[in-house]
């Protein structure tokens, strides 16, 4: 068991840095057995620090110190103290130059933080605290410096040497070595530092900015991937244009580079001028990437590019402010994706993730505010709350201010804070100053954790023609927070008459011809709104466009939901009505599993969706997807996963059987002839066909089987081929399933991204004997414990998406996950800590399950030498 518990860091204890760095000069000597890093820091005491003449403290991690010099003089061993995680130098003058030489071993770095090797290339990941495992440094985001970086390496093995900024010098050295020196003119925190050395090919392009500057764009990949960069390059150019047009942000360096690496802990990283990407988030071709992968790539390329302003030019003061850059940038990338495709579909996708996973996080033991007040291990705080809820908070400011004032606010924010490390409060203040609005109460969104619940009731006064909406808000207790204050919530509503028309919303008897949508502002625990001049009782359309990240409770009848499903003018709410109806039907079957009937009106509603070609097919494609098991778990009081699984499956089977002919017709109708295209229409058609196919195979339908085999063998794109494979794998056609899996692997075995898809289709499959199959996947030659994508595609998918198998009543799924977490904890604690997540919400499950989940957590807790990352998650999950 671990004895030295990691420390908790508190926002309230923030102090400005005692010393600043003006300039960093780095020289990397890269060798096959390690790397020597020479760093020279031009430093001075921070005039704003009240700490005075304190010793200089630099952060370090896993470094071998080879020498320290102050103003050019080597220091004797007694003149400094190497504590491993700190280098302390006493008696430094007010201004000085400190040189440090360290030896590191990127080859044996399996944590994938700092400098490491992936498929023969050197690369870095420094956010949040990786730079300290390269050299001793004040590794905190409010220390911003200009960097110059010289990289030296063997010319043959590493012809490409990259770092941030612009290349200023290059040349040959003895022994077949060469060097390149890069200079970044923009001051930046160390977390944005990057270095790459490898044998890579480049794809080049140019972008001309709004002021006419030509930017050199490059994507670096391994030679075998040379043909898979076009889409990312186009996405990059679209992002650059969009940021100019929508936010007035022009790119600032002369060169912008993206490098794809196979072993990467997350999706990508926004290092200044040198973004490093997980290969799976940049490489794509029609043959190997699904529509979802293309969309993800576009969104991530945009996200990292947008960070150049929201994150790099204006950065975070400390890691408690992480959402300052992440929430804002997710909001920006979701606006971008909405503009590139279907805004309603994008909103549905974002809200699905938020409601399924972020709401769960917000209701669990790791719940934390968008601006946390404390943490042990910052890597654990790259959460859905920081990213997705953070984006929702920015979206609400946008909803409250409107397009124009929001843009004024963002302009002011960028102008006022350019080159600074600031706080979420600075962001809100810029929005207030530009708009004249008071966001004082709104700030609670950053401070209070938990998902607000809006309980809505209504009353119609026939004689006065007045309809009243009463809204009560409450925010549940979360760890360390209770009795929360009411928040400022933008609540967008509309009212419909019986013919499905939107009614004018008149908030007083005098008002006439009011707008048909209004954003009501909730600020009190209880609010009532009266709408006048209504000749009949209206049907309310609540929280249109999901105008705030809240749960709405209102006693909708099934009639009302059916009505909204086909009439709500708000596309999002139309989808949501369908979801609520399906949830209601499934929940009823969970309560009464022996009920003979599945709501016939649900079947008819789906039939209409399948057959009415006048509807927006992109929306229909989303509406046909039943609520996921994970969402049903989230909505349950104490979830019984097998019961949820069985009820959902029963509804699915019933729908599929009742709609068989409609599904076949839908499948045929949506055959997309001609070239593969990525328009939202073509994507919707493929999605509809894949849903139809999956449902038919769910019935083990013979005609469906033939269609699936035909599509599997002849598809000209991965979306269709994988759709067919998935349908076969989840069917009862065992031989076909095995043949298809084999053929697929043989065809794509050399493409790691496709092999990951192949793993995940199997890890999420619904077939009996699941766990034995998962164990086999771990033994497969293509599986690699050192590659996070592989671990995620088997272990992560099994525990996070294959709920019925993971929650096997015998507890074997939990034991399995605990084993894998313990195994990974020694090599890659960040990934291990993420994998624990499905166990953390043990209290959410029915007692038979929760006890066993808790036991699995305790087993992890008792592992020897537990990392700080896993320690924090496990201990917080087990706390009362
Ligand atoms: N900023 C990075 C995330 C870094 C995570 C470090 N553990 C990617 C992004 O959000 O753009
Ligand atoms: Zn980001």
For residue 94, give the DSSP letter: S
CA distance 587 to 364: 22
- Which mutation among 125, 127, 299, 387 tests ligand 1's pocket best, with the greatest number of atoms within 8 A of CB? 127
Cβ 128 under 6 angstroms from ligand 1? yes
Over 70: is that where the pLDDT of 726 sits? yes
CATH architecture designation of domain 9-306: Sandwich (2.60)
pLDDT digits (tens, 9 = 90+) for 93-102: 999 999 999 9
pLDDT value at residue 672 = 79
- Which mutation among 268, 275, 278, 391 tests ligand 1's pocket best, with the greatest number of atoms within 8 A of CB? 268
On whether the CB atoms of residues 794 and 780 are closer than 8 A, the answer is: no
For residue 235, give the DSSP letter: H
Q: Over range 35-60, report the average pLDDT.
A: 97
pLDDT category at 2 given cuts 50, 70, 90 is: very low
Q: Over range 616-626, report the average pLDDT.
A: 96
Q: What percent of the chain has pLDDT over 70?
A: 99
Q: What is the pTM of this model?
A: 0.98
On whether the CB atoms of residues 25 and 97 are closer than 8 A, the answer is: no
Relative to the CA of 128, which ligand 1 atom is closest? 6
Domain 319-541 class? Answer: mainly alpha
How remote is the CA of residue 492 from the centroid of ligand 1, in Å? 32
Cβ 333 under 6 angstroms from ligand 1? no
| Neighbouring residues of 101: CB distance < 8 A, sequence distance ≥ 6 | 36, 37, 38, 39, 65, 66, 67, 68
**Average pLDDT, whole number, for the chain?**
97
CA distance 289 to 752: 11
How remote is the CA of residue 8 from the centroid of ligand 1, in Å? 21
CA distance 237 to 336: 12
Q: What percent of the chain has pLDDT over 90?
A: 97
pLDDT value at residue 3 = 47
CA distance 316 to 381: 14
Q: Give the DSSP H or E segment for 322.
A: helix 322-340
| Neighbouring residues of 82: CB distance < 8 A, sequence distance ≥ 6 | 60, 65
742 classed as catalytic: no
Cβ 269 under 6 angstroms from ligand 1? yes
How remote is the CA of residue 487 from the centroid of ligand 1, in Å? 29
Over 70: is that where the pLDDT of 503 sits? yes
CA distance 671 to 692: 12
Q: Over range 243-252, report the average pLDDT.
A: 99
Cβ 303 under 6 angstroms from ligand 1? yes
pLDDT category at 671 given cuts 50, 70, 90 is: confident
Cβ 304 under 6 angstroms from ligand 1? yes
For residue 845, give the DSSP letter: B
pLDDT category at 766 given cuts 50, 70, 90 is: confident
pLDDT category at 5 given cuts 50, 70, 90 is: confident
pLDDT value at residue 595 = 81
The residue contributing the CA closest to ligand 1 atom 5 is 127
| Neighbouring residues of 388: CB distance < 8 A, sequence distance ≥ 6 | 330, 350, 353, 354, 357, 358
| Neighbouring residues of 508: CB distance < 8 A, sequence distance ≥ 6 | 530, 532
- Proximal ligand: closest to the CA of 194: 1
pLDDT digits (tens, 9 = 90+) for 366-384: 999 999 999 999 999 999 9
pLDDT category at 880 given cuts 50, 70, 90 is: confident
Q: Domain-by-domain residue ranges, the chain?
A: 9-306, 319-541
Chain center to CA of 856: 27
In 3D, which of 382, 377, 421 has the Cα closest to residue 61? Answer: 377
Q: Over range 455-470, report the average pLDDT.
A: 98
In 3D, which of 350, 878, 352 has the Cα closest to residue 630? Answer: 352
Q: Over range 819-829, report the average pLDDT.
A: 98
| Neighbouring residues of 880: CB distance < 8 A, sequence distance ≥ 6 | none
Secondary structure of 549-603 in HEC code, one letter for each residue: CCEEECCCCHHHHHHHHHHCCCHHHHHHHHHHHHHHHHHHHHHCCCCCCCCHHHH
Burial zone of 584 (CB within 10 Å; 0-12 exposed, 13-18 middle, 19+ buried):
middle
pLDDT value at residue 4 = 61
The residue contributing the CA closest to ligand 1 atom 7 is 379
Cβ 382 under 6 angstroms from ligand 1? yes
How remote is the CA of residue 709 from the centroid of ligand 1, in Å? 40
Choose, from 298, 304, 361, 872, the residue flagged as catalytic.
304
The pair of three-digit structure tokens given for residue 8, joined into one six-digit string: 């908790």
Residue ranges of alpha helices (H) inside 659-701 are 660-669, 680-698
How remote is the CA of residue 466 from the centroid of ligand 1, in Å? 51
pLDDT value at residue 707 = 98
């Amino acid at each position: 068991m671990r004895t030295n518990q990691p420390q908790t860091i508190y926002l309230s204890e923030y102090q400005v840095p005692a010393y600043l760095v003006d300039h960093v000069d780095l020289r990397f000597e890269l060798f096959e057995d390690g790397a020597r890093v020479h760093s020279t820091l031009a430093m001075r005491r921070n005039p704003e620090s009240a700490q005075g003449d304190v010793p200089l403290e630099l952060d370090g991690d896993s470094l071998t110190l080879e020498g320290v010099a102050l103003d050019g003089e080597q220091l004797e061993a007694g003149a400094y103290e190497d504590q491993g995680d700190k280098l302390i130098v006493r008696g430094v003058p007010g201004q000085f130059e400190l040189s440090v030489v360290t030896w590191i071993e990127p080859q044996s770095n399996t944590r994938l933080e700092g400098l490491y090797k992936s498929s023969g290339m050197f690369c870095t990941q420094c956010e949040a605290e990786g730079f300290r495992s390269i050299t001793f440094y004040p590794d905190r985001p409010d220390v911003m410096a200009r960097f110059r970086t010289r990289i030296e390496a063997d010319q043959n093995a590493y012809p490409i040497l990259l770092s941030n900024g612009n290349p200023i010098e290059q040349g040959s050295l003895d022994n077949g070595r060469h060097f390149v020196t890069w200079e970044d003119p923009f001051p930046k925190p160390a977390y944005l530092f990057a270095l790459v050395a490898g044998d890579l090919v480049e794809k080049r392009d140019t972008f001309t900015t709004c002021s006419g500057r030509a930017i050199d764009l490059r994507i670096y990949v391994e030679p075998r991937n040379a043909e898979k960069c076009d889409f990312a390059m186009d996405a990059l150019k679209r992002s650059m244009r969009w940021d100019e047009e929508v936010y007035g942000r022009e790119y600032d360096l002369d060169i912008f580079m993206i490098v794809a690496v196979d072993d990467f802990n997350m999706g990508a990283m926004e290092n200044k001028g040198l973004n490093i990407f997980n290969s799976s988030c940049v490489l794509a071709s029609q043959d190997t990437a699904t529509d979802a992968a293309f969309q993800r790539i576009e969104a991530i390329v945009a996200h990292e590019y947008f960070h150049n302003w929201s994150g790099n030019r204006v950065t975070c003061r400390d890691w408690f402010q992480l959402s300052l850059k992440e929430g804002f940038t997710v909001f920006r990338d979701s606006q971008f994706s909405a503009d590139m495709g279907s805004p309603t579909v994008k909103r549905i996708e974002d809200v699905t993730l938020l409601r399924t996973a972020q709401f769960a996080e917000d209701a669990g033991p790791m719940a934390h505010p968008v601006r946390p007040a404390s943490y042990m291990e910052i890597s654990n705080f790259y959460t859905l709350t920081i990213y997705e809820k953070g984006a929702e908070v920015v979206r609400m400011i946008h909803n409250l201010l409107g397009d124009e004032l929001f843009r004024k606010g963002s302009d002011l924010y960028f102008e006022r804070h350019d080159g600074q490390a600031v706080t979420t409060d600075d962001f809100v203040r810029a929005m207030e100053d530009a708009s004249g609005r008071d966001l004082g109460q709104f700030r609670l969104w950053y401070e209070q954790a938990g998902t607000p619940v809006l309980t809505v009731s209504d009353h119609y006064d026939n004689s006065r023609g007045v309809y009243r909406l009463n809204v009560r808000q409450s925010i549940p207790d979360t760890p360390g927070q209770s009795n929360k204050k009411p928040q400022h919530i933008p609540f967008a509503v509309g009212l419909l008459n019986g013919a499905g028309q939107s009614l004018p919303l008149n908030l007083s008897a005098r008002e006439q011809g009011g707008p048909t949508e209004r954003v009501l502002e909730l600020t009190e625990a209880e609010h009532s709104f009266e709408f006048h001049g209504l000749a009949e009782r209206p049907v309310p359309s609540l929280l249109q466009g999901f105008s705030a990240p809240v749960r709405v409770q209102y006693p909708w009848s099934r009639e009302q939901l059916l009505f909204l499903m086909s009439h709500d003018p708000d596309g999002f709410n139309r989808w949501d009505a369908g979801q609520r109806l399906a949830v209601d039907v499934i929940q009823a079957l969970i309560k009464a599993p022996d009920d003979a009937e599945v709501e016939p009106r649900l079947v008819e509603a789906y039939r209409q969706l399948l057959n009415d070609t006048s509807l927006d097919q992109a929306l229909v494609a989303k509406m046909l997807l039943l609520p996921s098991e994970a969402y049903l778990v989230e909505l349950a009081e104490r979830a019984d996963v097998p019961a949820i699984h069985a009820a959902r499956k029963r509804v699915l089977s019933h729908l599929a059987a009742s709609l068989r002919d409609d599904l076949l017709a839908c499948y045929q109708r949506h055959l997309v002839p001609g070239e593969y295209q990525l328009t939202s229409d073509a994507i919707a058609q493929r999605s509809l066909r894949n849903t139809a196919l999956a449902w038919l195979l769910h019935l083990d339908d013979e005609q469906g089987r033939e269609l699936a085999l035909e599509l599997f063998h002849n598809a000209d794109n991965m979306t269709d081929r994988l759709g067919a494979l998935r349908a076969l794998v989840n069917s009862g056609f065992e031989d076909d399933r095995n043949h298809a899996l084999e053929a697929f692997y043989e065809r794509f075995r050399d493409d790691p991204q496709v092999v990951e898809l192949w793993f995940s289709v199997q890890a999420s499959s619904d077939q009996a004997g699941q766990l034995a199959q998962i164990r086999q996947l771990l033994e497969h030659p293509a599986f690699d414990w050192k590659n996070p994508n592989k671990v995620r595609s088997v272990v992560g998918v099994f525990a996070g998406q294959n709920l019925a198998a993971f929650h096997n009543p015998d507890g074997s799924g939990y034991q399995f996950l605990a084993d894998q977490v313990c195994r990974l904890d020694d090599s890659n604690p960040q990934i291990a800590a993420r994998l624990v997540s499905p166990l953390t919400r043990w209290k959410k499950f029915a007692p038979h399950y929760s006890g066993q989940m808790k036991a699995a957590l305790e087993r992890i807790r008792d592992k020897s030498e537990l990392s700080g990352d896993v320690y924090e998650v496990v201990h917080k999950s087990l706390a009362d």
